[in-house]
Structure 1
Amino acid sequence: MIKFAHNNFNVLNLEKSMAFYEEALNLKEVRRVEKPDFTLVYLGDNGETPHTLELTWLKDRKEPYNLGENEFHLAFVTDDYEALHEKHKKMGCICYENPVMGIYFINDPDGYWLEILPVR
């Protein structure tokens, strides 16, 4: 058997990223690993799924991460698409909208893309 465990994003400012994910997507810390050179924080969706997002903060890292031209992203499904879209619009974090497909994307503080989908 093989199953997903988590996804990882490296972040420059752990507190800023955690605040963004809680405000934008209601993700909350479920586990933390503290080491001298780095901190890992696992964010969960309040028990809706077992999947977590691991934020890795390398304590001596000062320059932004080069995310390249890959269009990798995480996707989130919501049962209140219109309200979440309005919230993200007010936050100023929408980076791309595709009205034909009925989806949009937001950016986190490090530039990672997060897809927002309605329940279909």
Structure 2
Amino acid sequence: MLQFNHFNFNVLDLERSLAFYRQALELEVVEEKQAGDGSFRLVYLGDGETGFRLELTWLRERTEPYDLGEQEYHLAFLTDRYEELLERHKAMGCVCFENPEMGIYFIEDPDGYWIEIVPVRS
């Protein structure tokens, strides 16, 4: 067996990130791990439909924003509620790029990670 399990984003403010992912993408906490000394927390978010998880890693000692390079990577979500989510994301002010020709758009999380929203196509 070989299957996807999770993808990681490191975050500076865990509570702010959790609120963002709950509001923007309806993700919920499915597992948490914390260092005994409180030096880090790992929070796994799920969509309630697949087994794939987004791991948010918070490090107590980290105070500087993460260097995301040229942001040539992203996480993508497939949805049958494209227009509804686009309206929500515009209201939240997190849409960072729209490509009407391709019928997709991207949102940006509080730490600068880009997330692609892709509609289900028939």
TM-score (norm 2): 0.96
Q: CA deviation at 1:4?
A: 0.5
What's 2:46 paired with?
44
Any stretches of 5+ residues in structure 2 without a counterpart?
none
Q: Which runs of 4+ in 1 moved over 6 A?
A: none
Equivalenced residue count is 119
Q: CA deviation at 1:20?
A: 0.1
The answer to whether the aligner puts 1:100 opposite 2:101 as a matched pair is yes
Letter in 2 for 1:99: P
Trace 1:1-120 onto structure 2 (pairs within 5 A).
1-35=1-35, 36=37, 37-46=39-48, 48-120=49-121
Name the CA distance, whole Å, in 1 between partners of 2:106 and 2:10: 19
Name the CA distance, whole Å, in 2 between partners of 1:63 and 1:84: 31
- 1:54 counterpart SS class: strand
Name the CA distance, whole Å, in 1 between partners of 2:54 and 2:44: 5
Name the CA distance, whole Å, in 1 between partners of 2:85 and 2:70: 27
RMSD: 0.6
Q: Percent identity?
A: 65
Name the CA distance, whole Å, in 1 between partners of 2:120 and 2:22: 21
Q: CA deviation at 1:78?
A: 1.0
Any stretches of 5+ residues in structure 1 without a counterpart?
none
TM-score (norm 1): 0.97
